[in-house]
Amino acid sequence: MTTLGEDLPKEIERVKELIALYESVEYGFIAAGLMKETIRLAEHAMIQGDLVGMIQYYKELKGYE
C-alpha cells in the first residue's frame, strides 16, 4: 500500500505525459489546459500541506485518461 504523498506526484507525472498527447491533437489544448490547472492546484495543495485539497486533486487527476 502506498501513501497519498507517494501517489499524488506519480499522478501528476502521468497527467503531464497525457498533456503532451492532448496538445498534439486538434482542440486537445482545451483538455490540456484543464489538466495543467489541476496539476497547478495539486502542487499548491502539496506545498501548503492541504490534505483535503490533495485528496480532491488526486481524484481529479485519476479521472484524466
Convert the pLDDT of each residue in 13-37 to its tens digit: 999 999 999 999 999 999 999 999 9
Other CB atoms within 10 A of residue 32 CB = 19
Q: What pLDDT score does 23 carry?
A: 96
Q: What pLDDT score does 48 carry?
A: 98
Other CB atoms within 10 A of residue 45 CB = 19
In angstroms, the CA 3 to CA 9 distance is 11
Q: What pLDDT score does 17 carry?
A: 97
Q: What is the mean pLDDT of the chain?
A: 97
Convert the pLDDT of each residue in 31-44 to its tens digit: 999 999 999 999 99
Q: Kindly report the pTM of this predicted structure.
A: 0.92
